[in-house]
Amino acid sequence: MAAVTAVLVGAGQRGHHAYGRWALDHPAALRFVAVVDPDAKRRKRFASAHAIIDDLAVATFSELPEDAADTCFVAAPDQAHHALASAALEGGYHLYLEKPIAADPADCADLAIRARGTDLVTAVGHVLRTTPFFREVRRIVQSGRLGEVVTVEHRENVAAWHMAHSFVRGNWAVRAESTPMIVAKCCHDFDILRWVLDEDVTKLASFGSLYHFHPDLAPESAAARCIDCNVPACPFDARSVYLNMANTGWPVHVITDDLSRSGRLAALESGPYGRCVYSAASDVVDHQVVAMELASGASATLTMHGHSPREERTMRYDGTRATLRGRFGASQTIELLDHASGAVEEVPIAQASGGHGGGDDGSIRRFLAAVRGQEEPGSTIDGALEAHLVAFAAEESRETGSTIDVAEYRSRYSS
């Protein structure tokens, strides 16, 4: 069976290093034959890696010839998703769209409507659905082992260095140029909660703010850039992350293509990733909590914050018969606590390699299988819409201080 052919739109971090790398490692399954990126350097890099001819390495989607490939992977910045995904659907491409669907709820809903009007396969990069860990959590909850689920606590614990990289110095640091952090980071989490519990949110309220990254909270001796700074033991010191020469992957390859020490130093001297976090002018939250009422009457909370010592999601599902506690990060654990006997059971989790606990690999494989007509994709645009609307509703609640009726909120964007 011939490999599925693809256009890559957006040859940056995810495009080049995740999807591009996967194709090179699995040439019999996926082959990129065209690339679209306004940055000539990135375009050339990707074209060279995948032996793409010059005529199919272009700056804009409109420059592509018709029927350039079977599929299109959109991994461009969030603000460009709606226009690029619309163009891909209009061009007849099966579509793999990096999350979030789009940068505002109206554009998310519009893409879902457009996708419904085609017979094309669409997938959103909700990679957690295809991890062995979350598949096991869902299996347990849906089996009834916990009894009726009464309440859920789900935490997205973003490591301090990751917060600084992505949401203070990086692409998601300024709201007007990206999407709210609760959408960019937690559309995954809202999707997982809905998928695991198999029920909708009916009401929600949310609270949060930019608590820490303000100029007036900078240490007295802080410099404008980390390379000139002598503040001891700063958890946001860029040097500790980017000058670790053992790290040649993410996030270092985001700041420069020259991974030598001199190349890294040059990026910290002049680029955005070398700035002091207290003067980087971020305006997105660094902590947010969402309280939700579910259709069954159960409750759930989602806590997101950027001050964790490690990168991991933690969760607790309390049912009428048993409790599930889980940890998803560098280590993965699931345990069940039986309420009647007090017994504690450690649940085995299948091993998986690759990014996002095996989710990157799993979601690409599911999409390609769907394109071949072998199974459904992991998460369609239409299926992912609800999680995105809940995330945007949470941000509206935070900004307005109001409780949101999710059905009413959803109706604003229904066709």
Per-residue pLDDT of 326-370, as tens digits, reads 999 999 999 999 999 999 999 999 888 778 888 899 999 999 999
**DSSP strands (E only) in 295-413:** 299-308, 312-319, 322-329, 332-338, 344-346, 404-405
The 8-class DSSP code of residue 275 comes to: B
Spans of the chain, pLDDT less than 50: none
d(CA 93, CA 367): 13
Nearest to 84 by CA among 71, 69, 73: 73
Residue range 4-128, CATH number: 3.40.50.720
Cβ-contact 376, 124 below 8 angstroms:
no
**What is the per-residue pLDDT for 397?**
98
Q: Residue 415: what pLDDT?
A: 60
Q: Which CATH superfamily is domain 129-213+283-353+380-411 in?
A: Dihydrodipicolinate Reductase; domain 2 (3.30.360.10)
DSSP-assigned states of every residue in 229-264: ---TT-TT-HHHHHT-TT--STTHHHH-S--SHHHH
Query: Quick check: 409 and 389 in contact, CB under 8 A?
Result: yes
Distance, CA of 298 to CA of 152 (rounded, Å): 8
Predicted pLDDT of residue 156: 98
Domain ranges, ordered by start, for the chain: 4-128, 129-213+283-353+380-411, 215-279
Please report the pLDDT score of residue 376 as a whole number. 78
State the helix-helix crossing angle for 132-143 and 187-197, rounded to 10 degrees: 40
- Given this chain, do its domains 4-128 and 129-213+283-353+380-411 carry the same CATH topology? no
Q: Is 147 left (phi over 0), alpha (psi -120 to 50) or beta?
A: left
pTM: 0.95
Which is nearest to 101 in space by CA: 125, 119, 127? 125
Residue 108 one-letter amino acid: C
- Residue 111, CB-side half-sphere exposure with 13 Å CA sphere: 34
pLDDT of residue 379: 82
